[in-house]
């Protein structure tokens, strides 16, 4: 068994694969201790060809192909085929920072962790660092629910080192072909985690692509994002109905916070992408009809809570924000 498996999904990312794999090599681990699984998710570009060439040059790489199942489906194929004790999900346009993964593994081994969260740089397409996110639990290990209450790091699955046994034992897989799969996946992962910790070590750089869903101008993709977030809310509610111990106040708080945060993410997306008041109100009505709408629950993220208090609790204001934004040319 390898110490760690690095899972790299591939879809239209051929231009990034060399540097992504090189960042793994820059960990300077013995090849017998790690593997890279490159998952061709039905990519129409040359990703598979580039991966095959890299695999011929490096014995630690294994390449898989499948029909398109989205980022979550590609990661699931990685989980199924991985042989490492720990898993890292590395998007192809991201990179690991040199010599950081061995330090993260050593921490996970020492503390016998299910999940270890680490810091990350956000970089632009020129490679400049535009932000750094880093936190620490000061060496304290928590169960996942308590950890979420006390720490709150990133919603990404890519700033975490997961125990493969933990994921397999709890049947933790990503939902396929949806946006926001990390949020839903980690809602379940944190709930089941017995031992979690945060380290301030910055382990990766994440590219803030101009073609991401939040920056893309394709209306169909944006509508899919809205529908997917509604589906995620339903999945979280269904999971809550099965597993919640209603006498456990921390669990109740956990689920309400996750549902509220998902609501805020959805409505901020609608607001930012210039959806009309009627469109936004239709989304709200739909969520209310399914018992998924939240506007009164205070969340820990101060900026999002400000948006909640001023906009979601005064929903009529959305009538005026979009015309005002258009008048200002924004």
pLDDT, one tens digit for every residue, the chain (330 residues): 899 999 999 999 999 999 999 999 999 999 999 999 999 999 999 999 999 999 999 999 999 999 999 999 999 999 999 999 999 999 999 999 999 999 999 999 999 999 999 999 999 988 899 999 999 999 999 999 999 999 999 999 999 999 999 999 999 999 999 999 999 999 999 999 999 999 999 999 999 876 654 556 789 999 999 999 999 999 999 999 999 999 999 999 999 999 999 999 999 999 999 999 999 999 999 999 999 999 999 999 999 999 999 999 999 999 988 777 776 565
- State how far the Cα of 16 lies from the Cα of 127, in Å rounded to an integer: 12
Q: For the chain, first and last CA: distance in Å?
A: 53
Angle formed at CA 153 by CA 151 and CA 156, multiple of 5 degrees: 145
**42, 74 contact by CB (below 8 A):** no
Q: Per residue in 188-215, is it b (16+ CB within 10 Å) or e — as a string?
A: bbbbbbebbbbbebbbbbbbeeeeebee
Residues 6+ apart with CB under 8 A from 219: none
Question: pLDDT tens digit string along 10-28?
Answer: 999 999 999 999 999 999 9
- State how far the Cα of 116 lies from the Cα of 251, in Å rounded to an integer: 21
Q: Give the model's pLDDT for residue 126.
A: 86
Retrieve residue 271's tokens: 């607001």
For residue 165, give the 3-state DSSP assignment: helix
**1, 83 contact by CB (below 8 A):** yes
Residue by residue, what is the 3-state secondary structure of 189-252?
Answer: HHHHCCCEEEEEEEEEEEECCCCCCCCCCCHHHHHHHHHHHHHHHHHHHHHHHHHCCCCCHHHH
Residues 6+ apart with CB under 8 A from 119: 132, 133, 134, 135, 159, 199, 200, 201, 202, 203
Q: Give the model's pLDDT for residue 240.
A: 98
**Residue 84: Cβ-neighbour burial (10 angstroms; 0-12, 13-18, 19+):** buried
Dihedral Cα 179, 186, 243, 77, nearest 10 deg = 70
Residues 6+ apart with CB under 8 A from 94: 20, 158, 204, 205, 206, 207
């Amino acid at each position: 068994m390898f110490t760690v498996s690095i899972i790299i999904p591939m879809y239209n990312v051929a231009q990034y694969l060399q540097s992504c794999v090189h960042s793994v090599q820059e960990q300077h681990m013995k090849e017998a201790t790690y593997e890279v699984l490159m998952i061709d998710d039905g990519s129409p570009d040359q990703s598979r060809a580039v991966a095959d060439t890299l695999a011929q040059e490096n014995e630690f790489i294994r390449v898989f192909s499948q029909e398109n199942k989205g980022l979550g489906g590609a990661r699931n194929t990685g989980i199924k085929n991985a042989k490492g004790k720990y898993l890292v999900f590395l998007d192809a346009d991201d990179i690991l920072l040199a010599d950081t993964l061995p330090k993260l593994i050593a921490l996970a081994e020492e503390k016998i962790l299910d999940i270890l969260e680490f810091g990350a740089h956000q970089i632009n397409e020129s490679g400049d660092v535009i932000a750094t996110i880093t936190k620490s639990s000061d060496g304290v290990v928590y169960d996942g629910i308590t950890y979420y209450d006390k720490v709150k790091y990133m919603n990404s699955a890519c700033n975490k080192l997961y125990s493969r046994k933990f994921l397999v034992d709890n049947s933790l897989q990503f939902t396929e072909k949806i946006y926001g799969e990390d949020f839903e996946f980690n809602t379940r992962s944190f709930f089941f985690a017995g031992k979690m910790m945060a380290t301030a070590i910055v382990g990766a750089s994440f590219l803030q692509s101009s073609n991401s869903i939040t920056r893309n101008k394709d209306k169909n993709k944006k509508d899919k994002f809205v529908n997917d977030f509604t589906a995620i809310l339903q999945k979280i509610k269904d999971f809550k109905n099965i597993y919640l111990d209603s006498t456990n106040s921390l669990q109740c708080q956990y689920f309400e916070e996750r549902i509220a945060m998902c609501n805020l993410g959805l409505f901020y997306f609608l607001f930012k992408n210039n959806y009309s008041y009627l469109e936004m109100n239709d989304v709200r009505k739909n969520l209310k009809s399914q018992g998924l709408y939240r506007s009164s629950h205070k969340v820990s993220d101060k900026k999002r809570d400000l948006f909640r208090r001023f906009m979601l609790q005064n929903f009529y204001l959305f009538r005026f924000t979009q015309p005002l934004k258009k008048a200002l040319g924004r």
